Structure 1
């Protein structure tokens, strides 16, 4: 994943391009002539700082896709100092967009095609929450961990229908030497943190996505098996050398 594109705010003139949630290959770019701003008007307001709202459309750059998304949030106009070519300090207006909602949510990480639907669904739900409610997004990733365990034969319920705590189920997964057990534990902890804190830091959520994407590539993307196949092939070739 490209962590650099996920920020708390964006310069209006340097807006990021987000991975398209529909095709997964194109980029959602802001449509400049379909961007709308509404500013507060207060007589005694600070002339160097103004708040307002923004809404904009984003369109996928892939010719075969052309998916459309809508983003809205807080707009801020602020006059900031800069040094001109003559070495003199000047003031210039900069406008920043602070996203609060995006529909549909951009694809934060790649999800392999062979990922079970229940796992992929929870991850997909989290994408739309990255600016709206990061704590809830972390909880969706925790839910994905639960579904990954189910897919690997570690059930949520006992034979009598009682709920098995996730921590206990992860202990069972460790006994089975499940791939990326440590990653699943970390995602569980991030989800728990999100449940008990008012707002999860963006950095923590992005780190959670980062390690999840790495785990998915090994568990469902076939990366580990592919690399092991390469190692086996090269080892056999070395064994045949005179």
Structure 2
């Protein structure tokens, strides 16, 4: 992704201009809002991504020993709160169902706006992933709805070894809903956990690799004959 030429614009609100004037910082700093477009550099893509958020500029002057002149430069920072369509943070298996894919794409956008809401959206993806794996939402007896923890236990019985990853997504998603705050590094962990769970549960990568390894062991390292 690279900025689309001449598409980035910054606007300083009037009240900030007044504050800078009163503090004597006018000409030294600027704060406000920005918007612009990014363009995918892949030849066959060319996607246009809209971005917006807050900016901060700090203007500096210093003496350059080589040119023996004063030089000016700007320390510019952008804090993005909107990115649409958002670049994928993790890969999706081709076999991932439409509901999971839809909510995961929404999580990519929420990553830039609200970490707590993003974590909750990953929890929703987990629910739909279990749907794809035929883990029921309603108990066989009593017709009561199963919460996510109970459904993960059912998956554990059918496909052991993935419950820790999914329970982490459940716990952090609950935290996002109830506390409204999720740590940035924790959210990145959740994306990684979800990617690993999807790859293993849908693509069965480890199972397929183990099967290939077993064939090599059986053939004593020689290639299998067709």
Question: Is the shorter-chain TM-score for this pair beyond 0.5, marking a shared fold?
Answer: yes
Q: Aligned equivalents of 2:172 and 2:197: distance in 1?
A: 16
Rg larger in structure: 2
Question: 1:63 Cα deviation (Å)?
Answer: 1.6
Number of residue pairs matched by the alignment: 210
| C-alpha distance 32-178 of structure 1, shift in aligned 2 (>3 A) | farther
Q: Provide the residue aligned with 2:9 in structure 1.
A: 36
| C-alpha distance 56-239 of structure 1, shift in aligned 2 (>3 A) | closer
CA deviation profile, 1:120-163 (whole Å, cap 9, x unmatched): 22211211100212111111111111112222222112356532
CA deviation profile, 1:34-90 (whole Å, cap 9, x unmatched): 11111242221434432111111011112222111100000011247989668xxx9
Tell which deviates more after alignment, 135-144 or 220-229: 220-229
Alignment of 1:90-239 (within 5 A): 92-158=73-139, 161-238=143-220
Contact 1:193 1:200 in 2 (8 A): yes
| C-alpha distance 206-85 of structure 1, shift in aligned 2 (>3 A) | farther
**SS of alignment partner, residue 58 of structure 1:** strand
Q: Structure 2: 5+ residue runs without aligned partners?
A: none
Alignment of 1:58-69 (within 5 A): 58-69=38-49
**SS of alignment partner, residue 146 of structure 1:** helix
Determine which structure has greater relative contact order: mean sequence separation of CA pairs < 8 Å that are 6+ residues apart, divided by chain length. 1
Q: Aligned equivalents of 1:126 and 1:191: distance in 2?
A: 12
Q: Provide the residue aligned with 1:52 in structure 2.
A: 32
CA-based RMSD: 2.4
Q: Aligned equivalents of 2:64 and 2:173: distance in 1?
A: 48
Query: Are 1:71 and 2:51 matched, yes or no?
Result: yes
* TM-score with structure 1 setting the length: 0.77
Structure ranking higher in helix proportion: 2
Question: 1:225 Cα deviation (Å)?
Answer: 3.1
